[in-house]
């Protein structure tokens, strides 16, 4: 599973960690961005509040995965969806349009990161339910 967003500093990093934890490591999760920035401190803080340490996760450019095969690629912002590269193996794609929590005013930023993490947890829970219910041959289509 590859999660993509523009900066790979918040949404995709949080999704990667949440999927890894929620699947108990059964689902391999990666993340990348089209224009990577440093990991956002509020992303680290909100995930730490959930008992997940992402402070050591590096940010990565999507080109790093240009030859990698994924079953799924999920874009998390509209900008990266428009420029998402073709990846080998024709992965299943999904688009979860989530606003950038780092783009809000300082006074509400933490709460926005919490809401983003909540939304990602919900969507990842639904995705995991789908992955465990659908037979593998159906998921690959």
In the set 14, 73, 77, 124, the catalytic residue is 77
Clarify whether 84 is annotated catalytic. yes
DSSP result, 12-42:
HHHHHHHHHHHTTTSS--EEEESS--PPPHH
36 neighbors 61 (Cβ within 8 angstroms): yes
List of residues 6+ apart from 55 with CB closer than 8 A: 39, 44, 48
Clarify whether 30 is annotated catalytic. no
Clarify whether 77 is annotated catalytic. yes
**Residue 4 half-sphere exposure, CB side, CA atoms within 13 Å?**
28
In the set 21, 52, 84, 128, the catalytic residue is 84
In the set 1, 2, 4, 5, the catalytic residue is 5
120 neighbors 99 (Cβ within 8 angstroms): no
Q: Which residues are catalytic?
A: 5, 77, 84
């Amino acid at each position: 599973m590859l999660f993509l967003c523009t900066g790979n500093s918040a949404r995709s990093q949080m999704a990667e960690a949440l999927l890894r934890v929620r699947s108990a490591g059964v689902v391999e999760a990666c993340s990348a961005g089209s224009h990577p920035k440093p990991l956002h401190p509020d992303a680290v803080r909100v995930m730490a509040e959930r008992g997940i340490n992402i402070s050591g996760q590096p940010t990565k450019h999507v080109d790093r995965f240009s030859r990698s095969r994924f079953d799924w690629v999920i874009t998390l912002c509209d900008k990266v969806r428009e420029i998402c590269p073709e990846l080998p193996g024709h992965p299943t794609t999904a688009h979860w349009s989530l606003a950038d929590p780092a783009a809000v005013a300082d006074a509400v930023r933490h709460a926005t990161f919490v809401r983003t993490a909540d939304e990602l947890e919900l969507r990842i829970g639904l995705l995991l339910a789908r992955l465990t219910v659908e037979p593998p041959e159906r998921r690959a289509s």
